[in-house]
Chains A and B, each alone.
Chain A
Amino acid sequence: GIQVEQSPPDLILQEGANSTLRCNFSDSVNNLQWFHQNPWGQLINLFYIPSGTKQNGRLSATTVATERYSLLYISSSQTTDSGVYFCAVEPYNTDKLIFGTGTRLQVFP
């Protein structure tokens, strides 16, 4: 089956720093989404981005489907950005959603 790997697995930042999270997938996909799981376990949808680039405030995402990767950019990080970031993909010709391995982000003041 498809492999979805995220890097780095852990990231520690000081408030105000920028970061880039990466999601690599091993096969073609119908769509890709990015989520933030806060320390209380709530999963928040950040981007629905099968291809191209989107921006929402300090966050932006780019998916290059032909090269099988997606990037999530966080600028001017804040302590509230802490948590785990997941990408999730729907492989072609399946009715399944596969989550990546996650990146745990800690932002310190």
Chain B
Amino acid sequence: ETGVTQSPTHLIKTRGQQVTLRCSSQSGHNTVSWYQQALGQGPQFIFQYYREEENGRGNFPPRFSGLQFPNYSSELNVNALELDDSALYLCASSPSGLQGFGELFFGEGSRLTVL
């Protein structure tokens, strides 16, 4: 059984650019959620996807968008990058559906630096 994998592990972008982060969910899990963790802070919930549709969103602007694919993998896209977007981006999968957040299993994260 493979765990949650994320790519890339590290990347550097400049202000105004766009970035795509990828996540493969754990085998048997149909729900994926994304989190932003700034240095020294706790994770902040961005959004959750179930059956390829957004199912819950935190307080993030529309330039943060996502996709979930039929194999339950997911992408996080961030447009018009700002310096404050520098953070560790975490993906989690869970074996749940529309009944809220199940037990979450996290990937190792993608560390984004915006210059």
- A84's nearest neighbour on chain B, judged by CB, is B42
| A42 CB within 8 Å of chain B | yes
| A99 CB within 8 Å of chain B | yes
Tell me the dominant secondary structure on chain A's binding face.
strand
Alpha-carbon separation in the docked complex, A94 to B59 (Å):
13
| Also in contact, A43 and B90, with CB within 8 A (given A90-B101, A98-B45, A99-B42) | yes
Chain B: interface residue total (CB-CB under 8 A)? 25
Q: Please, which residues of chain A bring their CB within 8 A of the CB of B81?
A: none
Q: Do B100 and A30 touch across chains, with their CB atoms under 8 A apart?
A: yes
- A6's nearest neighbour on chain B, judged by CB, is B42
Binding site for B on A (CB under 8 A): 30-31, 33, 35, 40-45, 48, 86, 88, 90, 94-102
Identify 18 new A-B residue pairs, CB closer than 8 A, beyond the known A94-B56, A99-B44.
Answer: A31-B100, A31-B101, A33-B104, A35-B104, A40-B108, A41-B109, A41-B111, A43-B106, A45-B103, A45-B104, A45-B106, A88-B104, A90-B100, A90-B101, A96-B45, A97-B45, A99-B42, A99-B45
A-B CB contact pairs (8 Å), 25 listed:
A31-B101, A33-B103, A33-B104, A35-B104, A41-B88, A41-B108, A42-B106, A42-B108, A42-B109, A43-B90, A45-B103, A48-B102, A48-B103, A86-B43, A90-B100, A95-B48, A95-B55, A95-B57, A96-B57, A96-B58, A97-B48, A99-B42, A99-B43, A99-B45, A102-B42
